[in-house]
Structure 1
Amino acid sequence: MIFSDRQYAVSKEQLTNLQKAATAIQASGAKLDWLKEIESSALKSQIADIQREMAEYNFLKSGAAGFTEEFAFEDLPRVLIQARIAKGLSQTDLAEALGLKAQQVQRYEATNYMSASLARLMEVASVLGVRVSASYGASQQRSEGAIYAWSDASSVEWNRFPLREMAKRGWIKGGDLGASARTWFHDVAGPQFATALHRKKMHSGNAPNEHALLAWQARVLEKARNDFDTGLIDEFSLDDRWLSQLVALTRERDGPRRAKDLLGRNGIGLVIQSHLPGTYLDGAAMIAPFGNPVVALTLRFDRLDNFWFVLFHELGHVFLHLHNSLRFDFFDEENGHRGDQYEEDADKFSLDRLIPQDAWRKALSRFALTEEAVAIDAETLGISASIIAGRIRKERNDYRLFTNLVGSGTVRAQFEGMME
């Protein structure tokens, strides 16, 4: 990790030298191809590590990071360093605020605060405005609202990626799939997505495979980058007034496909990506390296009601959460356990945007439970009957109701060829 402007300058110089060396290797005709490939891969790895550290330092220095979130205690040392940089404080500034010598703060940070007492950690947290919390839960509850993060990209065990499945889908290739996976991940996502800057907040009733989760995210970002580079994603503004147009699309037969175009015109990438085994995903929301929000859907359940509810849930994360925390990437399973404030907020956003509360209280179909009543309410509200049917099924926890109205088998076909 880079701790100061001086270290940043040194890293920048190192990066320039490594990039020149990488270029020289490719231009050299004297070496065998396999030897050039080995040397080139090693340099790419070093370059990616430095770029990650520089990107993290620039992000923190920009002031875009917030530190009023609650962090797990084991993450506190790194968070304190990040918070100090984000507040524009040098190690000397922090030392003065604590009544210490600058060398002591340098030692603390160089050793990840291993030599600091609990009292000192609390004092530093107070000065930097970092709130600390701790909690305990039985192991079987681990997946509910769990947060996954790696200290840095080098701590990821690349061979634990679902390599065969990734190769089968054409994401990676080559003899050493583990090395290919690392190179591919760095190229399409960037190493910062495997750090504390991009903590994975997983809301699920199942324990996901963290490495499959990370690989799936990289594939989503790769697709989003392709859309961005070809002009399919415009500039984003934190303005949700256009969502009424999206609600109107729910009535159209090809509404899901047209939703991708509408989101793109408003600066949000929509990626349809089937989930990897062990991830149990329905949707996700994240910010791509090029700065725009990206919503990803797996279409694990091929139903219209599921598509629209999950899409608006992830848009809730985009407009409520993505821009006011330290890089939470949200991953959701529709039937995961509730009780998480982030998820409750996103659920409410989804429900209210699709059917305002006052309108839902007056809906005839909630009580009549007939297809005719659903059709009347859908016409009155200007939305798809599938949304009303799906909401009634969920609220009553009776999925035998309205099976003919939820649009089963009508969504995936609209995204044929886009899911792998």
Structure 2
Amino acid sequence: MIRNENQYECTQELLKRCEYTLAQYDAQDEEVKQNDPWWSAMRESMQSHLDAFKAEIAEYERLVTLDRTKDFRIEVDSILEMPRVLIKARIAAQMSQKELADRLGLEESRIKQYEDSDYQCASWVEIIDITEALAVELKIASFVVDFQEMEIRKKSLAELVERQRKKLELNNQRVER
């Protein structure tokens, strides 16, 4: 996801490079295309990058050119998408990271850190403050408790804890020797 003008410009440059490289692949003679087992995979990979860059650029351009006289609705399937909601809201408001930081009485580097980590380093209170500063409101919510998924995660977590316990035991045994 493009988060600022600098990333937008970099992504445009990467797009141009991908287009150039793709043109180079397409310009190769048919014998190379037919006999090189990697040709197709490399071309598909480059095309995939090109498509991703185009989609990111289009989304960023859509966000910065929104009609701000109307509410902007962001649909999500999970609360885990909240970081992207906050970033999109800031971009759509044509607000820089510095401007958001100023509104909150923070350093710009703090907002950059939040966004670069998808808000993993932000507390719940800080996230609420940011939603307030961006006027992001949750209008409709529906939380689903998936008990089958809960059991799968419970087993996975138990296995992880057991692996960590065994690793710790091994480390302790090595230290004792």
Which of 88, 91, 96 is matched with 1:82 structurally?
88
Partner of 1:117: 123
Partner of 2:12: 12
CA distance 1:138–1:73, change in 2 (3 Å): closer
Q: Which amino acid aligns with 2:25?
A: I
Partner of 2:32: 31
Q: Which has the higher helix share?
A: 2
Between the aligned partners of 1:114 and 1:124, the Cα distance in structure 2 is 14
Q: Which amino acid aligns with 1:27?
A: A
Partner of 1:55: 58
Residues 197-227 of structure 1: per-residue CA shift (max 9 Å, x gap): xxxxxxxxxxxxxxxxxxxxxxxxxxxxxxx
Please give the root-mean-square deviation of Cα atoms over the aligned residues, in Å.
2.3
Partner of 2:3, secondary structure, is: coil
What is the CA-CA distance between 1:68 and the residue it aligns to?
A: 5.6
Q: Which amino acid aligns with 1:37?
A: S
What is the CA-CA distance between 1:63 and the residue it aligns to?
A: 1.4
Matches within 5 A, 1:102-251: 102-132=108-138, 134-137=141-144, 139=146
Between the aligned partners of 1:84 and 1:90, the Cα distance in structure 2 is 7
Give TM-score scaled by structure 2 length. 0.71
Residues 130-151 of structure 1: per-residue CA shift (max 9 Å, x gap): 11365434659xxxxxxxxxxx
Q: Which has the higher strand share?
A: 1
Partner of 2:89, secondary structure, is: helix
Partner of 1:333: none
Partner of 1:131, secondary structure, is: coil
Shift >3 Å, 4+ stretches: 64-73, 133-140
Q: Which amino acid aligns with 1:86?
A: A
Partner of 1:338: none
Instruction: Tell which has more relative contact order, 1 or 2 (C-alpha 8 A, sep 6+).
Output: 2
Contact 1:67 1:129 in 2 (8 A): no
Aligned pair count reads: 140
Residues 55-88 of structure 1: per-residue CA shift (max 9 Å, x gap): 1111111114844668653321110000000000
Q: Identity over aligned residues, as a percent? A: 29
Q: Which amino acid aligns with 1:5?
A: E
Contact 1:61 1:87 in 2 (8 A): yes
Matches within 5 A, 1:215-294: none
For structure 2, list consecutive stretches of 5 or more residues without a partner in the other structure. Answer: 148-177
Residues 27-46 of structure 1: per-residue CA shift (max 9 Å, x gap): 11262424322221010011
Contact 1:26 1:36 in 2 (8 A): no
Give TM-score scaled by structure 1 length. 0.31
